[in-house]
Amino acid sequence: MLGVHIIGPNAGEMIAEAALALEYGASAEDVARVCHPHPTLSEAFREANLAAYFGKSINGI
């Protein structure tokens, strides 16, 4: 990851995970492999990383 932009309602709930990933140099695979609670907004961050690393997300259309 080079940077993260999150815009919208409840963005503050997801930006903390992104900041942590950037601080520790986590890859998209690292974030995708971490267990995220369901249903939560943080799950969307995992889905984005799944799509970036594997080319598809679990819940993608």
Band the pLDDT of 44: cuts 50, 70, 90.
confident
Q: Residue 57 has what pLDDT? A: 65
Range of the domain at 33: 11-54
The answer to whether residue 61 sits within a structural domain is: no
The answer to whether residue 59 sits within a structural domain is: no
Q: Residue 43 has what pLDDT? A: 84
The answer to whether residue 5 sits within a structural domain is: no
Residue 59 confidence (pLDDT) above 90 = no
Phi-psi label, residue 55: left if phi above 0, alpha if psi -120 to 50, beta otherwise: left
Q: Residue 60 has what pLDDT? A: 60
- Total number of domains constituting the chain: 1
> What is the set of active-site residues?
38
With b for 16 or more beta-carbon neighbours within 10 A and e for fewer, the 20-53 pattern comes to ebeeeebebeebbeeebeeeebbebbbbbbbeeb
Q: Residue 26 has what pLDDT? A: 92
Q: What is the pTM of this model?
A: 0.69
Q: Give the model confidence (pLDDT) of 7-42 as tens digits.
A: 988 888 888 889 999 999 999 899 888 888 888 888
